[in-house]
Amino acid sequence: MPDNLLDGLRKSFPSLKIDAMVITHPPHIRLFTGFSGSNALLAVTRTKGLLLTDPRYELQVQREVRNVQALVVHDGNFLELLKKKAWFKACRSIGFDRDRTSYHTAALLKRIVKPARVKPLSRVCEPLAERKNQSAAKALTKAAAIADRVFQRLLSVISPGMTEREIAAEISYFLRQEGADSDAFEPIVVSGPNSALVHGTPSNRKLRPGDAVLLDFGARYRGYHSDISRTVFMGAVKPKLRAVYDAVLESQETAIASVAPGVRARTVYDLAYGVLKRYGFADYFNHGLGHGLGLEVHESPRISRDTTDILDEGMVFTIEPGVYIPRIGGVRIEDDILVTAKGNNVLTKSPKSLIVL
């Protein structure tokens, strides 16, 4: 895949019956231009591109922006400036992402580009984002390696009496020490009965002997995200939770083994679900099996019951089966997977054998 993804975007214009497109979603702007600021607008025609942002990012634009012209707007509205520059002159139809563009911006765009037609579109940028080029795959691999190092450090820190919040704070601290720009998302640390909360918030609960401790966190590196989950145990493991752990691990490994170009994402989900059903735990698996990773923590493809996505080389996503039994606890094991020409590469390398601290 070429680094200049704008070429891929422009190739879609004829089939979409548009002459230009306006993009406001920051991750998509970064995908096409390299710009990491939080306030910008990207206007793309069949022959040129223009990034508009505000004065806070004047130096940043000079350092980051590629493939397009960039202008810093000191006053006024981005779209008004496009009108003043007749940027859409001779364009008969201008598209925008209806899922990522505010109602206000869409309405203003419609007024400014008259008599051209404004066309709401869906999933135009996502197919370009989900197939990672070499530089994106390298950043995702680095983000995964950072998460792995953090997990290894946690194993020597976690101990009875620590609170979930204290462990979450250690994760954030370790991530930055290991080279992350930031957390990929707020870390999840839940223990004992709390580990049955799929996306529970770290609390002041103190770890106790016999607890399952579910850890879910990731690194943000050069804009790209990793996402890893491991479940460890404090002292003796309850027989029920050991059975759950073995089932979740087999479910995940079965799913990962099936990942290859051309495979239906639904097939991967079904294989994981089938293992949990065979062990009697399917009713406690209540979320999708995985989600795409990139400049966003959650993007396409989706690995779920109702997905129609087909796996392709360059896609990166999580595989994360889990079982969550109320009042007993939960187990989730999550890794980041890169689809390769011949199969897949597991980017996160942390051990998955049952760990007792």
Residue 76 has pLDDT above 80, yes or no: no
Question: Which residues, 6+ apart, have CB-to-CB distance to 261 below 8 Å?
Answer: 311, 312, 313, 339, 341
pTM as predicted: 0.95
Domain 6-129 has CATH 3.40.350.10: yes
CB 228 within 8 A of CB 351: no
Which CATH superfamily groups domain 131-346? Answer: Creatinase/methionine aminopeptidase superfamily (3.90.230.10)
% pLDDT > 90, the chain? 97
Mean pLDDT within 165-191: 98
Where are the CATH 3.40.350.10 domain residues in the chain?
Answer: 6-129
CA distances from 1 to 76, 125, 131, 175, 261 (A): 37, 14, 8, 30, 15
The tens digit of pLDDT for each residue in 128-157 reads 999 999 999 999 999 999 999 999 999 999
Q: CATH 3.90.230.10: which residues of the chain?
A: 131-346
Residue 2 pLDDT exceeds 60? no
**Residue 3 pLDDT grade (very low, low, confident, very high; cuts 50, 70, 90):** low
What is the pLDDT, as a whole number, of residue 237? 94
User: Which tokens go with 237?
Assistant: 């493991």
- Amino acid symbol at 91: C
pLDDT in tens, 315-340: 999 999 999 999 999 999 999 999 99
Quick one: tokens of 328? 């007993």
